[in-house]
A and B are shown apart, each in its own frame.
Chain A
Amino acid sequence: MSVCWLWLIVILLFWYGFFYISGRFCGSLTTFSSWNVNLAIFFVSDTSYAWAQVLFGFVIGFAMAMVSFTVGQHAGILLHRLNNSYLAREADLHVDSPQKYCHHRELPDFERHFLTDVYGEDFLQTLRRKHPNLIEELNSWKLSTSEYRHPYGPFRDTLREVEVAAFVENCGDISSRYGSLVNKVGWNLNSLQSYVSLKHQHAVKSYEAKDESIFILLGVFACIFLILIFAFLLDGAASISTETESSRSLQNYHVLCLSGIFAPFGALGRWFLTRYNRGYLRGKYEWLPLGTLLTNLLGCIGSIIISSLISSYNYDYKSECILKAFQMGFFGALSTVSTFANEISVLSKGFPSNMRGYVYAVGTISLTFTVSCIVYGLSTNSLLP
């Protein structure tokens, strides 16, 4: 039962914490190396119609990852609409009546929604009750500029500049920059300045109360939980020294415990290598996520070397468990499919102007598969005459 409780705690922590480090979790949950290595071993081994298995293996593995990623994106959009009703309403307004849509998207959400009538009457009444001065000033500005808010109205660009200066850049002296022009068209610049000033005062008071203790607390809590997990895994792995020849279930258990111990090092290695994703290559291949390509390539090479070692030599139970755990834990966490899918999705936005998504996908799969086949073939002498 204690293990059930441990899994329950893991699931709860995952739910509250996975947003925090989502990319790392996904990267460790998915693995490129075992997928590639399985198919490389299959291909090099003398199996009938191995090419067909390999082809379908890559097609299914790649297609399933991309489809899952796309469905995940759709789920994310639906959740976004569910959790951000005003943004969803604004998007609907944009579709239903484009003339109401704010023509400058740089504005903060609150002001943009207020100025473009996204908020309902109930909410506006609550706002007026809670912040009468603030809302009054903003409303005065809105009323004085309402006829210039049309997407094709006159002074559209000037209105945009003034509002960006006030709401985004938090400019304290708008009058000197735009006063003469604004006075001509009759916009209530005093209200705008009063609003910005009031908002800034509120903001300083509000944020001063916050500190970074929540971040430190989260970090300490994560440290404690990491130590607990490591203690549990070490306890599970410790019994490996007393076993000589065991059942498959027991071996799976030992490999699982050891993999969990090796995994953080693989993920940290991936984090280190991802610094080469941007700004390292120059010229024609500047767009290439070199870091992810390197992590997947290194993960496949390391994994295939371990596979060839296991198939070539007879190791005792303990060594075999450690090797398998290193393969699944370290190299499994080093390589990633989720980031690979994300990068393909981003690079494919340029299609059909360029084929970067396809080049990256096919290039990565071809390179890792070829290298894996060569390494496995040479190390097991399968490629030698």
Chain B
Amino acid sequence: MMINEMILMDLPNKHKDDKRRHTRWLNIVFISLFACVGTLLRITIGALFSICEENPQETEAANTSSSNNMIQYVIPAGVCVTSNDSPLFVDLPANMLGSFVMGMILSGGLLGLPTRAPVACVSVRSWLQELDFIHFGLRVG
């Protein structure tokens, strides 16, 4: 690096302001994309931890179904830890994972660190820091 960037990055610069013009449509696109991925992941994690055993007849029925045999890949066989009928509810693992990720990618200020980087866990000179949506996403997520 970047030594050049290191010296110059903190200087106020009017060129940075131009990047804000496309904020709204980028927000909508990325919200939709990651909401979709996040929900699929949540349901998959929920299934992974809650499904107790595969009924052989059901598995056979699924394999011969008119849909396709992708179900076996998408919904994995479970490990039977969580349940809708217990305090260890089905979405508990996904909530834990989401909260962990949220805590990990906080801004420097919220983590009590001596930096104003929007995402403290990556380098303060990373190009990821220049994406304003990170800061906004962390606030409202």
A296 proximal to B (CB < 8 A): no
Q: Mark A230-267, 1 if CB is under 8 A from B, else 0.
A: 10010010010011001111101111100111011011
Bitwise interface map of B from 7 to 19 toward A, beta carbon under 8 Å scored 1, else 0: 1111111011011
B102 and A341 within 8 A (CB): yes
Total of A-B residue pairs, C-beta within 8 Å: 396
Residues of A in contact, count (CB < 8 Å): 127
Whether B59 lies near A249 (C-beta < 8 A) is yes
Residues on the B chain within 8 Å of A267, using CB:
31-32, 34-35, 38
Contacts A38-B84, A203-B11; is A14 near B73 (CB within 8 Å)? no
User: For chain B residues 39-54, which have a beta carbon within 8 Å of chain A?
Assistant: 39-44, 47, 54
Say if the beta carbon of A71 comes within 8 Å of chain B.
yes
Residues of A within 8 A of B57 (CB): 247
B74 contacts across to A, CB distance below 8 A: 3, 253, 256
Residues of B within 8 A of A84 (CB): 115, 123-124
In the complex, the answer to whether B133 meets A20 with C-beta atoms within 8 Å is yes
Q: Are B94 and A30 in contact, CB atoms less than 8 angstroms apart? A: yes
Interface flags for B75-107 (1: CB within 8 Å of A; 0: not) read 100000000111111111011111111111110
Residues of chain B at the chain A interface (Cβ within 8 Å) = 3-13, 15-16, 18-19, 21-22, 25-44, 47, 54-55, 57-59, 61-62, 65-68, 70-75, 84-92, 94-106, 108, 110-111, 113-115, 119-124, 126-128, 131, 133-134, 136-141
A-side residues, CB < 8 A to B, are 2-4, 7, 10, 13-14, 17-31, 34-35, 38-39, 42, 53, 56-57, 59-61, 64-66, 68-77, 79-80, 83-84, 87, 90-91, 105, 108-111, 126-127, 130-131, 134, 167, 170, 199-200, 202-204, 206-208, 210-212, 214-216, 218-219, 222-223, 225-226, 229-230, 233, 236, 239, 242-243, 246-250, 252-256, 259-261, 263-264, 266-268, 270-271, 274, 277, 291, 328-329, 332-333, 336-339, 341-342, 345-346
